[in-house]
């Protein structure tokens, strides 16, 4: 969906962003292709799709880990893809990331004090060691942990949910403007997921965060997102506010994703399923034209010959499909 970087409230702009990984012999993985989307200041944009669609590659490209193969990432008017070395390190104070596995993302040999204080030390902020410890305790308290008790313990002494809270504390200790959550609750129990999501909502308001929330769980994304972007095999196929996406999906793939979400009501009437047949094609050799056409019940010759261009089917509702459902 075309990114308009001139808009004042467009805080994060992904402009024609492409991520490819070389395999040797000229082959490459087309992880993300020509992704253009904006995230408004203070907004939570949910990025959804099945495993292998390029969500995590997009997140890492935003973080410049590594930078995208081509295209631009612009945050608050600064083009991140043009930064290197010290300039990029300084800019990184303003955008931080929470990873999928809360335990693996923490150094098992370090104490919580060292883990959460590390961003301050790298950035040269926080003052003396005593002052940094005070900031660490305050941040741990904000994420619902007992700061004084947690300081000298190590990750293996905490549960998965507590480790994720430590990860959130580490990400927010620099007071960033953008928080990228890559499957941040998928490794947690359902009850702990709810607690973590509520915590993120509270912290978003307190810190004035803009969030990119990545998940394959549509129920979770609906709960936390203002708008939702749906990806398939590296390409964006639909973008709209969360309520519209779930009430009236315009892309056959989006409809299939929503149909696969179970209804938590034993008395609810049975609904028609529109499940996606077949397997996800290889990103090394994606289909021509529309990448979803090999699994789409509405596919035509046009779908094989032409890449569908995004178009607005309703105000704020964009879809890239030759045969939209609305």
Tens of pLDDT, residue by residue over 14-62, are: 999 999 999 988 899 999 999 999 999 999 999 999 888 999 999 999 9
Q: 112-142 pLDDT, tens per residue?
A: 999 999 999 999 888 899 999 999 999 999 9
| pTM, two decimal places | 0.90
* CATH numbers and ranges of domains, the chain: 10-319 (3.40.50.300)
Whether 265 shows a pLDDT value over 50: the answer reads yes
Q: 220-245 pLDDT, tens per residue?
A: 888 899 999 999 999 999 999 999 99
Cβ contact 188:160 at 8 Å: yes
Q: 153-176 pLDDT, tens per residue?
A: 999 999 999 999 999 999 999 999
Mean pLDDT of the chain: 91
Whether 7 shows a pLDDT value over 70: the answer reads no
């Amino acid at each position: 969906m075309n990114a308009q970087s001139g808009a004042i409230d467009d805080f994060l702009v992904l402009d024609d962003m492409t991520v490819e990984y070389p395999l040797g012999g000229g082959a490459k993985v087309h992880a993300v292709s020509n992704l253009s989307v904006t995230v408004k200041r203070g907004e939570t944009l949910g990025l959804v799709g099945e495993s292998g669609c390029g969500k995590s590659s997009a997140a890492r490209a935003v973080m410049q880990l590594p930078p995208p193969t081509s295209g631009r990432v612009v945050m608050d008017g600064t083009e991140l893809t043009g930064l290197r070395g010290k300039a990029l390190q300084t800019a990184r104070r303003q955008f931080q990331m929470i990873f999928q596995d809360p335990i693996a993302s923490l150094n098992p040999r370090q104490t919580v004090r060292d883990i959460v204080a590390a961003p301050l030390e790298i950035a040269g902020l926080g003052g003396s060691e005593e002052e940094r410890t005070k900031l660490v305790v305050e941040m741990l308290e904000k994420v619902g942990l007992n700061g004084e008790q947690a300081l000298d313990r190590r990750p293996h002494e905490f549960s998965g949910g507590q480790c994720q809270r430590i990860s959130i504390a580490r990400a927010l200790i620099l007071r960033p403007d953008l928080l990228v959550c890559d499957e941040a609750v998928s490794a947690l129990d359902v009850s702990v997921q709810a607690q973590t999501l509520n915590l993120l909502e509270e912290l978003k308001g307190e810190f004035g965060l803009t969030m990119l929330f990545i998940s394959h769980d549509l129920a979770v994304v609906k709960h936390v997102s203002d708008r939702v972007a749906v990806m398939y095999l590296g390409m964006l196929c639909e973008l709209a506010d969360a309520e519209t996406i779930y009430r009236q999906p315009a892309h056959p793939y989006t409809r299939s994703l929503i149909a696969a979400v179970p209804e938590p009501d034993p008395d609810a009437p049975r609904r028609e399923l529109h499940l996606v047949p077949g397997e996800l094609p290889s990103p090394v050799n994606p289909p021509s034209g529309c990448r979803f056409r090999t699994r789409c019940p509405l596919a035509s010759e046009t779908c094989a010959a032409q890449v569908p261009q995004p178009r607005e089917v309703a105000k704020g509702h964009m879809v890239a499909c030759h045969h939209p459902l609305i």
